[in-house]
Amino acid sequence: MMERVLKMLLEFKCSNHKSIKEKVNFSMIAGSDNTFGELLKEYGNFKVLRSAIIYGANGSGKSNFISALAFMCELVGNSINHQPGQGIFQAPHKLSAEDAPSEYNIQFVKNEVRYAYGFSVKKNLIQDEYLYYFPKGRQVKIFERDGMTIMPGDRYKNAFEVSNGILKDNRLFLSCAANYSNVKEIEEAFMFFNKDMVIYNPEINNWTEYSIDLMQNNAAIKEVFVNILQALGTGARDVKVKLEKVRLSDLQQELHIPDTLKSLIGVQEGKRVEAKIVYDQFEVDLMTEESAGVKRLFQMICPIIDILKNGKILICDELENSLHESVILQLVQLFQYYQRDEFAQLIFSTHDTSLLDRDIFRRDQVWFTQLNDERATDLYSLAEIKNVRKSENLAKGYISGKYGAMPMLNKNFFQELRDGVWG
């Protein structure tokens, strides 16, 4: 009997987004390789991967690929709020034609049903859009869009009258219909982008407050977090956390607020955040005394527990920032081996070649980005490269440039630099 599957990412395609010019295709559908077959998730007639890793030289497009996924999620969630005359962000490739659209297409599973959704942006406005789903394996149109014209599927002829009324050329119809219709399939698709796909960028996101809130309100999550800290060898024995709402007027002395500003504060509320890591003989304040690595663990582990527990998809750019490679391996294995009916996925970019190992990943889980002659990003998986032996040292092959995706260093340049040729 097939295991119960709630949500999963199957594939993503995009074009004309930053360094990505021609369409790139990313898939979480497993190939015919039987390596780690027990870790795959069956869905319909195919099997799905739990994780994928993306390698590539600096500037080759790893971050731009992840930003395309983030852009799609953000636009679905927020375009309903766009005001008249407000253009949609579009960052086309420098060599694309002036009127070339930027396209985004995705297939995913929500509540055991497959969906296909996509749209294109041209001159900072929505050009077209579609949403299909596949109950019992058969494609059913929910809607198609051409400019400002919506063509609903036969089952939804009268479902979008109010949604049509608020549609604008800078708003996605999925965003409008999720807020102004009662179509279950629309809501399911919207929630996949809004709740199920979690995009983490260490330069933007700070999950410290979210982690404190989770631990304060869920003793089980706190216990798991402390156990993970201990298993990772941090030496931590416990965590003390406190997150409370306070009126800023009550903190006037503590915050040393000048008298001239006190009248402006009124009854505004703020949050007091406290977190301490408890070791054998002392406590350390998380915010001011703890190391960058433990801070990152504190930020990420509780959200990851939530992602695993609720079967979400975590997409992360350069997961290894401030984390030791052994910690990254443990996090990867959490997603690989987490045994629940729920199905969580991890997709991340990295420079950490210690993870490029056949004992950790299948070939179809390993992806590379590389710039072509147009300085445009190519995206391809290790499974697409021929003559890769099963016994091959993948990290060595990658570093040597055998799989592409690595900067080919000008050895003569560095030899001349060492020899002082330039004076």
Query: Given this model, what pLDDT does residue 53 score?
Result: 96
Of 161, 160, 334, 301, the closest CA to residue 226 belongs to: 301
Instruction: Let me know if residue 327 belongs to a domain.
Output: no
Instruction: Let me know if residue 266 belongs to a domain.
Output: yes
Domains: count for the chain: 2
Same domain, 217 and 91: no
Same domain, 236 and 263: yes
Of 385, 377, 362, 379, the closest CA to residue 29 belongs to: 362
What is the pLDDT averaged over residues 30-46? 90
Rounded-to-10 torsion of CA 293, 224, 243, 292 = 0
315: Cα separation from own chain's centroid: 2
The vertex-67 CA angle with 63 and 70, nearest 5°, equals: 145
Of 228, 220, 266, the closest CA to residue 247 belongs to: 266
CA distances from 50 to 23, 329, 367 (A): 24, 14, 14
Instruction: Let me know if residue 164 belongs to a domain.
Output: yes
What is the pLDDT averaged over residues 10-18? 98
Strand partners, 121: 102, 126
Per-residue model confidence as pLDDT tens digits over 114-170:
999 999 999 999 999 999 999 988 999 999 999 999 999 999 999 999 999 999 999
Query: Given this model, what pLDDT does residue 210 score?
Result: 83
The vertex-221 CA angle with 218 and 225, nearest 5°, equals: 140
Instruction: Let me know if residue 110 belongs to a domain.
Output: yes
Q: Is 55 helix (H, G, I), strand (E, B) or coil?
A: strand
Query: Given this model, what pLDDT does residue 233 score?
Result: 82
Averaged pLDDT score across all residues of the chain:
87
Least confident of 38-42, 154-158, 361-365: 38-42
Same domain, 168 and 282: no
Same domain, 138 and 222: no
Query: Given this model, what pLDDT does residue 3 score?
Result: 46
What is the pLDDT averaged over residues 11-35? 96
Is residue 260 pLDDT above 60, yes or no? no
Same domain, 195 and 217: no
Per-residue model confidence as pLDDT tens digits over 389-423:
888 888 888 888 888 886 555 555 556 666 665 55
Is residue 291 pLDDT above 70, yes or no? yes
Same domain, 292 and 359: no
Query: Given this model, what pLDDT does residue 247 score?
Result: 62
Structure tokens at 283: 């406590």
Residue 203 DSSP one-character state = T
Placement of tokens 């077959």 in the chain: 37
Query: Given this model, what pLDDT does residue 159 score?
Result: 95
Instruction: Let me know if residue 420 belongs to a domain.
Output: no
Same domain, 189 and 234: no
Distance CA 7, CA 302 (A): 20
Same domain, 119 and 189: yes
Instruction: Let me know if residue 405 belongs to a domain.
Output: no
Instruction: Let me know if residue 128 belongs to a domain.
Output: yes
Is residue 255 pLDDT above 80, yes or no? no
Is residue 356 pLDDT above 80, yes or no? yes
Per-position b or e across 288-301, b if 16+ CB within 10 A of its CB:
eebeeebbbbbbbb
Query: Given this model, what pLDDT does residue 297 score?
Result: 83
Per the structure, the complete domain to which residue 144 belongs is given by 7-201+339-384
Strand partners, 113: 110
Same domain, 26 and 79: yes
Per-position b or e across 160-187, b if 16+ CB within 10 A of its CB:
beebbeebbebbbbbbbbbebbebebbb
Same domain, 251 and 153: no
Distance CA 223, CA 85 (A): 50
Instruction: Let me know if residue 227 belongs to a domain.
Output: yes
What residues have CB less than 8 Å from 145, skipping those under 6 apart?
Answer: 119, 126, 128, 129, 130, 151, 173
Q: How far apart are the first and last CA of the chain?
A: 73
Residue count of the chain: 423
**At 379, phi and psi to the nearest 5?**
-125, 130
Distance CA 64, CA 282 (A): 43
Reported pTM: 0.86
Query: Given this model, what pLDDT does residue 7 score?
Result: 92
Per-residue model confidence as pLDDT tens digits over 190-248:
999 999 999 987 677 778 888 898 899 888 889 988 988 888 788 999 999 988 776 65
Least confident of 117-121, 177-181, 263-267, 319-323: 263-267
Same domain, 160 and 36: yes
Same domain, 306 and 190: no
Least confident of 6-20, 89-103, 171-185, 385-399: 385-399
CATH value at residue 82: 3.40.50
What residues have CB less than 8 Å from 146, skipping those under 6 apart?
Answer: 128
Query: Given this model, what pLDDT does residue 281 score?
Result: 92
Query: Given this model, what pLDDT does residue 299 score?
Result: 84
Per-residue model confidence as pLDDT tens digits over 317-334:
987 775 667 778 888 888
pLDDT above 90 as % of the chain: 57
